[in-house]
Amino acid sequence: MSTPSPLQPLQRLHDPSSRGFASDNASGVHPQVLAALAVANGGHVTSYGADPYTARLQEVMQGHFGAAAQTYPVFTGTGANVVSLMLLARPWDAVICAETAHLNTDECGAPEKMGGLKLVPIPTPDGKLTPALLDTKAHGYGVEHHAQPRILSITQSTELGSLYTVAELRALIGRAKEHDMVVHVDGTRLGNAAVALGVPMSAMTTDLGVDVISLGGTKNGLLGAEAVVVLNPDAVAGPLYVRKLAMQLASKMRFVSAQLIALYGTDLWVASAAHANAMAARLAAGVRDLPGVRLTREPEVNAVFATLPREAAERVRERYFFYDWDAATGEVRWMCGFDTTEADVDGFVAAIRDALP
């Protein structure tokens, strides 16, 4: 029998100097969040959320969203969305959302297959719903042949990088309430939206009658940590059971909660979102006048959408990876994160300039 080789420490398998603009998920973990994980480590602590960090998290989120808020840490954004909608939905209900909503386009059918939810997507030019668009689908109530359009899901900021103003949200949510609907906000980038608008997160949610939020964390420097925040406990059923049923219950929840406390229990979420938004603005300014580059949408948060010659895009991608948004039109998406630097942006702009014919 051969002698097993001695265990080796983990070797670095990536180039830490590599930078890209593909996603705000591509960054590492914020140093303050790593420090928070170290603080939460050590000793034995009761599992499944019966720990002091998860208890403290309730207070932190109530500070943002009001005394009625109940927070349920989860692992993923998809999980947060599915759990949120399952909490709100009766078996015969339907969810109205924008056609470009992440829950409709990028979750592999999880809302339908795992949550048993019927989605009713509405095409929009900018990713934003309006009261008039909502009215096109909010009908058939009381008709047993139709799923009941009872849930409105809004993404703030949207997948197209656009922002609802507070006035737009008030009008849309008000119309939903006129239809006796309940309202979910996919807030994976809610912090970016709040900073861009200069308002607290409650101004876009609690104050307008939103019932449940999927609150982002991973895109803001956390390590697999998101949250379902129930603003209206009377609108949901069985949150503890639904989270477990949806496979989103963490055994060592203290480590998920500690990360969320590090982000939202301090001004870290503000600083991170403001920086990411500012880097996107710098990037847009840098490419705006380059021949052959066209901004397809004015950046409002941390996303820049543009078109450029396909050959140029491929050359730039050899150094800075990013995704096509619409391969048919040549539209690409460039995302900035909490750790994007001015040097990253300026180097990227220079690479684009050099690649253009």
Among candidates 197, 110, 121, 116, which has minimal Cα distance to 157? 197
Among candidates 62, 67, 114, 122, which has minimal Cα distance to 89? 114
Cα of first residue to Cα of last residue in the chain, in angstroms, is 63
* pLDDT tens by residue, 121-147: 999 999 999 999 999 999 999 999 999
Q: Residue 6: pLDDT above 90?
A: no
Q: Residue 4: pLDDT above 70?
A: no
* pLDDT tens by residue, 259-284: 999 999 999 999 999 999 999 999 99
Confidence of residue 3 (pLDDT cuts 50, 70, 90): low
pTM exceeds 0.85, yes or no: yes
Would you list the domain boundaries of the chain? 31-264, 268-355
List the single range of 11-25, 76-90, 178-192, 245-259 with lowest mean pLDDT.
11-25
Amino acid 178: pLDDT: 98
Q: Residue 66: pLDDT above 90?
A: yes
Contact 192, 182 (CB under 8 A): no
Q: Residue 332: pLDDT above 90?
A: yes
Neighbour-count burial of 352, counting CB atoms closer than 10 A to its CB (0-12 exposed, 13-18 middle, 19+ buried): buried
Pair of tokens at residue 256: 């998920």
Q: What is the CATH class of 31-264?
A: alpha beta
CA dihedral 185, 191, 192, 197 (to 10 degrees): 80
* pLDDT tens by residue, 267-326: 999 999 999 999 999 999 999 999 999 999 999 999 999 999 999 999 999 999 999 999
* pLDDT tens by residue, 166-195: 999 999 999 999 999 999 999 999 999 999
Strand order in the sheet with 294-295: 294-295, 303-307, 331-335, 323-326
Q: Please tell me the distance from the alpha carbon of residue 350 to that of residue 122, in angstroms, as a whole number.
A: 39
Tell me which architecture the domain covering 268-355 has in CATH: Alpha-Beta Complex (3.90)
Amino acid 9: pLDDT: 86
pLDDT, mean over the chain: 96
* pLDDT tens by residue, 82-121: 999 999 999 999 999 999 999 999 999 999 999 999 999 9
Q: Please tell me the distance from the alpha carbon of residue 70 to that of residue 220, in angstroms, as a whole number.
A: 21
Confidence of residue 1 (pLDDT cuts 50, 70, 90): low
